[in-house]
Amino acid sequence: MVLHHATWPEVEAYLRRSRGIVIPLGSTEQHGPTGLIGTDSITAETIAREAGALADALVGPTLTLGPAQFNLGFPGTVCLRPTTMIQVLLDYVQSLARGGFRKFYLLNGHGGNLAPAWCAIQELHADRSLGRSGSESLDFRLRSWWDLPEVNALRQQLYGVGEGMHATPSEIAITQHVLPAQHRPDTLPAPPGLSPAFLKFHAGDNHLDADAHRAQFPDGRVGSHSGLAQPAHGQALLQAAAQAAARDYAAFLAGDPA
Amino acid sequence: MVLHHATWPEVEAYLRRSRGIVIPLGSTEQHGPTGLIGTDSITAETIAREAGALADALVGPTLTLGPAQFNLGFPGTVCLRPTTMIQVLLDYVQSLARGGFRKFYLLNGHGGNLAPAWCAIQELHADRSLGRSGSESLDFRLRSWWDLPEVNALRQQLYGVGEGMHATPSEIAITQHVLPAQHRPDTLPAPPGLSPAFLKFHAGDNHLDADAHRAQFPDGRVGSHSGLAQPAHGQALLQAAAQAAARDYAAFLAGDPA
Amino acid sequence: MVLHHATWPEVEAYLRRSRGIVIPLGSTEQHGPTGLIGTDSITAETIAREAGALADALVGPTLTLGPAQFNLGFPGTVCLRPTTMIQVLLDYVQSLARGGFRKFYLLNGHGGNLAPAWCAIQELHADRSLGRSGSESLDFRLRSWWDLPEVNALRQQLYGVGEGMHATPSEIAITQHVLPAQHRPDTLPAPPGLSPAFLKFHAGDNHLDADAHRAQFPDGRVGSHSGLAQPAHGQALLQAAAQAAARDYAAFLAGDPA
Amino acid sequence: MVLHHATWPEVEAYLRRSRGIVIPLGSTEQHGPTGLIGTDSITAETIAREAGALADALVGPTLTLGPAQFNLGFPGTVCLRPTTMIQVLLDYVQSLARGGFRKFYLLNGHGGNLAPAWCAIQELHADRSLGRSGSESLDFRLRSWWDLPEVNALRQQLYGVGEGMHATPSEIAITQHVLPAQHRPDTLPAPPGLSPAFLKFHAGDNHLDADAHRAQFPDGRVGSHSGLAQPAHGQALLQAAAQAAARDYAAFLAGDPA
Amino acid sequence: MVLHHATWPEVEAYLRRSRGIVIPLGSTEQHGPTGLIGTDSITAETIAREAGALADALVGPTLTLGPAQFNLGFPGTVCLRPTTMIQVLLDYVQSLARGGFRKFYLLNGHGGNLAPAWCAIQELHADRSLGRSGSESLDFRLRSWWDLPEVNALRQQLYGVGEGMHATPSEIAITQHVLPAQHRPDTLPAPPGLSPAFLKFHAGDNHLDADAHRAQFPDGRVGSHSGLAQPAHGQALLQAAAQAAARDYAAFLAGDPA
Amino acid sequence: MVLHHATWPEVEAYLRRSRGIVIPLGSTEQHGPTGLIGTDSITAETIAREAGALADALVGPTLTLGPAQFNLGFPGTVCLRPTTMIQVLLDYVQSLARGGFRKFYLLNGHGGNLAPAWCAIQELHADRSLGRSGSESLDFRLRSWWDLPEVNALRQQLYGVGEGMHATPSEIAITQHVLPAQHRPDTLPAPPGLSPAFLKFHAGDNHLDADAHRAQFPDGRVGSHSGLAQPAHGQALLQAAAQAAARDYAAFLAGDPA
């Protein structure tokens, strides 16, 4: 059930059977010469909705803006300050907690969202730990779709080192499948490869400022061979992600450790 | 052109012919027993995209959350603090200004967004007036779609006093047209009518706190006879709104007074 | 009763018969070549005190600073950030609510205060809606003195199109009556007229940044023929405003819709 | 010259001969059973205006709200959070600095304003020290009127130990002189005396929370024998304060050490 | 060189040969029944100072407070809000950047610091990307000492699964070596083991609120068999960490990828 | 007992006999050509720990950063914004109040900390006064070590006018005693003397911006003849300060007026 497509009596009825909700986290930023600026939002939202359908979970509206200052050298990028994103998440969660929600599953599509989302979760817990919130304990699971083991295996199998870090063929393939009319041809050569150390350290999009980042990655791709993407891959990745996320969400509701 | 469906080189090309962008402002809140919780976001986004197509305007991602504390007594409502929304708009506009945008047309779908949006505009101007921004002068036009004269005439003609203030038949009709699968039957009687003084004073959704508001408006409708909505009305309203907004945007770019 | 001229036992006694208070909202900004920089504060404070005398209402201290960044190109203007004004109003109201006040009538003298005042009201309600305030429901009425119907009729009758938008003859006339020693002669010609669309759109002082605003309105008047002001007009306007505000306040206390 | 009673061309002319301004800092809080709630604002404003007349100094609008949480147990008290007051002062000073002011003389009437005012001054300097302000160096002098040596001598001579700390006969005497119609008779006995250690430590109104403070000082006076106040004292204190502040301001403009 | 033990002319001389600095990040929170509350600060500071000596690096003062709301159920724990820590890091870095520092190596001793530190780094970059900082590009490396490969290998070798997540024998061993007088005997049994999924998901101390956390981990240890710690292990761990961090820092200065 | 060297069960036991804690406030800033950048932190921490040992008081971690913008012209100085320091103190105190602490003795080593510390104390009280904190009344004593009467007498006796204001021989002597390895020889001539008016007005480090401050005090000393410092003086000053602070703390716990 998609919250935007529901009525309040339907949400009231849902709350009698579940206290959980899925919240997709996206971004609005360049994804290389052929990837869509909305890639992170489109993938997170689509996976969340398909997973929600599988798991009978309510799916809230996608946060389409996230921290992306490193991409501000490419026009069309929009960047929330991390502190702004933290405040947005506080308001989002506190509103739903007021209505009775207790378990928040954040389905993430943008590495740069991870740090502020973790901060927001700790701020929300701190409110209660310091006696400033009247609500019961809240619970959170934050999961990037590419980190779900089944998805991770599939994208490595499909693209190997070409997957890279930003404007990845896997995320672009999903948008090709979801929005076929927006499929740009891509004959770009593979960009320079990234070392495992780089990949590990920059997980979470811990990049430099906008001028330095564009100088380092002139076409916006960070080690990703976007031209490998194909709509059929996208369909498979979407299916794998939705199923894995639905299982992960069910385990979260059941109280299983992450 | 929809920003989420564009690539950065396409935005770069767009900026060579225009410095303008349309930003839809929505909300996530109850719209009565049969209206969708996403009504304000769906209407603003749809009108903005159709207007953008008519006016060759880039359309940014919709802000789907806005201040709506008065509706927190109805589950499913999400409320941004006004100060949070102000900060989100600062980040959104400053990011685009960095890339070269100068003229921001805010197409609004939720009365409660007006006050924080005006505040954000003045904060952005204040930055420059106090010498804290290196950017050129920015320009803004904030317009609620129902205030466009052609739309206002049409909704009065279709619904008269039944239009009311919240969960209006006009906004619901648009969602019926855009999302026919989400059309809920509605045989609710007309709610109590509102005085012109009430309508004037509460413009901008200046309502009471959540408990008081639900006590005052028990099913969530504020004077609106939602059952009058029909998909064909929605089509006509959407067309009128898109054409009027496209003209208004063109006049804004041309420097005509609002 | 003026709060600054009262003692705490007198306020304690007042609270046994009323939970209401009038708070004047002013500004400190240029008002054309002959209007006083304190015009908005002087008018709001004077009207509030006379209305308070008529309605047996306590009148709090005037907020003499408001958002006015567009006037920063004219020296002597002071501008609060909208977010600062929101915070000031939160502190002001929460302090009084702690003491037992429940009904806050904001008598406004500056268009630029409207958006932040509405935001502050919604923030205050949100506190209670989200369970973060132990106080009872609060109630607010925000009224610009020139919008009171009797005043609006009178100023149109006196000045017609010459009333304009900023440095209006009606506000200047009130200051001439209240502070005769500060009456500057004014033989300025009428400024260029403003379209109804301009007047509607810029209500609430939604102007450009300081450099652009001074370029657009070089002497600071926005469509207002300040030279039409006369002290006798001011006396009549003040009387009309005080009586109308007193009635409006009484209706507010009585729970009548605005 | 009083800023509220000036026009912008007059301020422009003033700036050609001086870069200085006097800003009165007041408060809105109980002052014992017979002292006015506006005492701190009335005294600071009156002294500032008389000093301004003597020194040809522009006098800005009084900040009538300050931190006063300890007095919230007495109704009618209004308290700004210290962080709110800091932000108000930043906006006030940055606005005037934009117009060309460089030397800010803060004439203080409330001990609780001292700490936030010092913080604001350091925040303003920090902006420049960290390269975030385009303005020239600013300069500040913060002076409580009772600390001016001539005033301090006079109030000790008039009241000795009866002067105390809050609702002092000296501040009440000034209000009696300035607002004779608001003179309440006062036959209260002297309150318990305060030790020199208490007076030194609690300078700056470093008191406890509101419940504890009212329990400690049940009628609101802090060691002050308010009944000693007489209007003639007020006249003498006002004259001494205005002359001393005018000299102090002139020395400040001349660059003499404080 | 330790900043606190240096003079400003010595720092000025240092800046002529290096633009780098090491900043230790600690915490103040319970570390089980026998671990010291300052464990995270003591380990980070000691390793940073030894690494600094090896690498001729300046070492700034340790941030001894970090986000630790989950441990507030154990007295003695102090928790910074994540947003507070972000602001502290902004001030810390901007101050040093003003003086000429460009390369900031954050040596971390507390998992809960990672998310706010990443946010702070992105906020600092965003300042420059949005044209709000006059400084040159800054560069950051954030490294938890236990993640340095040599340290990670050693602690796995010493303790295996007993290392756990909080109040780890490795961190306690270092404090035993550094502060032998503070060595508490520990005969606690091993706590329940943690699944690899738990370890991965809760990396960065993404724990529940304080009540829930203490219920889950009643003595404060999170899967760590603290009793395995020995001072000699601590010496070896410290040496390994200092050498690895010194090499990592040198590579950072040299521009090598992380 | 030093909090960093304690375990949580030890703190739990301590709380059964005392609700008090000592918190040292330091700074990180230049102290002239021969004084250590950590002087204020080293002195506050050492005195606090010795006083804590005498008074059986728990001593929390030192805040090593404070507002010091005026010293940013000397490299190595780190400056917290006053508003940042206020927030840090709120978090620090609220965390400890959650665990049961009620009496907070702030042992200060840096004049610039006084204003923000007073603000933080009033903010903490305001929380309770406005009904936003569930905790009991808190109590604070803020004391700069040099203001303790015995210390003040000793430093005047030792150095007279040479004590000055910043980089004082007394603070440097303490660091010479505590850290003999860091003792720099100092043959600097006495700096220009300061007037009593300067000393009084600039108490609390109310200095100008960084450029102006360095121009005024080119080697960083503010009227202090640092070369008079001797380690034996430091030992005597430390002993006097620790004994006086221990007595002052005991009086604070006993409820004696400051």
The predicted pLDDT at position C122 comes to 97
- CB-neighbour burial class of residue D184 (10 A; exposed 0-12, middle 13-18, buried 19+): middle
What end-to-end distance do the CA atoms of chain D give, in Å?
Answer: 24
Q: How large is the average pLDDT for residues B203-211?
A: 87
ipTM of the complex: 0.97
- If one compares A135 and B14, the residue with the highest pLDDT of the two is B14
Contact A91, B84 (CB under 8 A): yes
User: What is chain D's alpha carbon radius of gyration, rounded to the nearest angstrom?
Assistant: 18
d(CA F2, CA B148): 68
- If one compares C221 and C135, the residue with the highest pLDDT of the two is C221
Q: Average pLDDT over chain B, rounded to whole?
A: 96
Q: How far is A117 from chain E (nearest CA, A)?
A: 8
A227, two tokens: 């031209």
DSSP, res F180: G
Nearest to A174 by CA among A45, A78, A55: A45
**Percentages (nearest 5) of helix, strand, coil residues in chain D:** 55, 10, 35
CB contact under 8 Å between B78 and A95, yes or no, is: yes
If you measure CA to CA, which chain D residue comes closest to C59? D76
Contacts of F17 (CB under 8 A, 6+ apart): none
d(CA E121, CA E141): 9
CB contact under 8 Å between B75 and A41, yes or no, is: no
Contact F41, F62 (CB under 8 A): yes
The predicted pLDDT at position B240 comes to 98
Q: Average pLDDT over chain C, rounded to whole?
A: 96
If you measure CA to CA, which chain D residue comes closest to B123? D91
Chains touching A by CB (3 or more pairs below 8 Å): B, C, E, F
CB contact under 8 Å between C126 and B257, yes or no, is: no
Tens of pLDDT along B172-202? 999 999 999 999 999 999 999 898 888 887 8
Cα C140 to Cα C43, C120, D82, E102, distances in angstroms: 21, 10, 25, 52
Contact D59, D1 (CB under 8 A): yes
Position A39: which residue type? T
pLDDT band at residue B258 using 50, 70 and 90 as cut-offs: low
Q: How far is B127 from chain D (nearest CA, A)?
A: 11
Q: How large is the average pLDDT for residues D145-163?
A: 97
Q: Cα A163 from chain centroid?
A: 17
Packing angle, helices B169-178 and B231-254, rounded to 10: 100
d(CA B109, CA B170): 12
Nearest to A251 by CA among A96, A61, A51, A90: A51
| C139-144 and C58-59 strand pairing | unpaired
D125: which chain F residues are within 8 Å (Cβ-Cβ)? Answer: 69-70, 207-210
Q: How large is the average pLDDT for residues C66-94?
A: 98
Q: How many other β-carbons are positioned within 10 Å of the β-carbon of residue A9?
A: 18
Contact B102, C212 (CB under 8 A): no
Three-state secondary structure call for residue B8 = helix
The predicted pLDDT at position F10 comes to 98
Cα E199 to Cα E153, E166, E196, E207, distances in angstroms: 16, 10, 5, 11
Nearest to A146 by CA among A225, A221, A204: A204
d(CA E78, CA F8): 12
Least confident of A63-77, C187-201, E88-102: C187-201
d(CA F18, CA F56): 9
Q: Is the C-alpha dihedral spanning A228, A233, A235, A237 positive or negative?
A: negative
Instruction: Read off φ and ψ for residue C23, nearest 5 degrees.
Output: -120, 115
If you measure CA to CA, which chain D residue comes closest to C183? D5
D129, two tokens: 């020290």
The predicted pLDDT at position C256 comes to 80
E84: which chain D residues are within 8 Å (Cβ-Cβ)? Answer: none
Contact F12, F206 (CB under 8 A): no
- Position D204 pLDDT exceeds 80: no
- Position A201 pLDDT exceeds 80: no
| B20-25 and B103-108 strand pairing | parallel
Q: Is the C-alpha dihedral spanning E63, E69, E71, E76 positive or negative?
A: positive
Position B161: which residue type? V
Tens of pLDDT along F115-149? 999 999 999 999 999 988 867 899 999 999 999 99
- Position C177 pLDDT exceeds 80: yes
Percentage above 90 pLDDT, chain F: 90
Cα pseudo-dihedral E141, E145, E149, E152, rounded to 10: -150
B72, two tokens: 């927190």
Q: Is the C-alpha dihedral spanning A190, A192, A197, A198 positive or negative?
A: negative
CB contact under 8 Å between D131 and E132, yes or no, is: no
Chains touching B by CB (3 or more pairs below 8 Å): A, C, D, E
D131: which chain E residues are within 8 Å (Cβ-Cβ)? Answer: 98, 133-135
- Position E198 pLDDT exceeds 90: no
Q: How large is the average pLDDT for residues F218-227?
A: 97
User: Touch between chain E and chain C (3+ CB pairs, < 8 Å)?
Assistant: no
| D103-108 and D20-25 strand pairing | parallel
Which stretch of DSSP H or E encloses residue A76?
A: none
Three-state secondary structure call for residue B29 = coil
CB contact under 8 Å between C78 and D84, yes or no, is: no
Burial state string for B151-162 with b = 16 or more CB within 10 A and e = fewer than 16: bbebbeebbeeb
Q: Which residues pair with D103 in a beta bridge?
A: D20, D139
pLDDT band at residue D200 using 50, 70 and 90 as cut-offs: confident
Which stretch of DSSP H or E encloses residue A144?
A: strand A139-144
pLDDT band at residue E224 using 50, 70 and 90 as cut-offs: very high
| E103-108 and C103-108 strand pairing | unpaired
Q: How many other β-carbons are positioned within 10 Å of the β-carbon of residue C197?
A: 13
Q: Cα F51 from chain centroid?
A: 13
Q: How large is the average pLDDT for residues B4-9?
A: 98
d(CA A207, CA A213): 7
CB contact under 8 Å between F133 and A131, yes or no, is: yes
pLDDT band at residue D4 using 50, 70 and 90 as cut-offs: very high
CB contact under 8 Å between A95 and B77, yes or no, is: yes
Residue among A82, A129, A210 minimizing CB distance to E119: A82
Q: Average pLDDT over chain E, rounded to whole?
A: 96
E114, two tokens: 């990672």
- Position D258 pLDDT exceeds 70: no
A68, two tokens: 């992306």
Position A193: which residue type? G
The predicted pLDDT at position D1 comes to 96
pLDDT band at residue B203 using 50, 70 and 90 as cut-offs: confident
Position A224: which residue type? S
- Position F32 pLDDT exceeds 80: yes
The predicted pLDDT at position A135 comes to 75
- Position A208 pLDDT exceeds 70: yes
Contact C52, C14 (CB under 8 A): no
d(CA E56, CA E105): 13
CB contact under 8 Å between C95 and D78, yes or no, is: yes
d(CA A80, CA E216): 35
Q: Cα E173 from chain centroid?
A: 15
Least confident of C145-159, C193-207, D35-49, D128-142: C193-207
Position A184: which residue type? R
- Position F222 pLDDT exceeds 70: yes
Nearest to A60 by CA among A51, A68, A69: A51
CB contact under 8 Å between B131 and D95, yes or no, is: no
d(CA D5, CA A12): 58
E172, two tokens: 């306690």
Tens of pLDDT along A126-146? 999 998 886 789 999 999 999
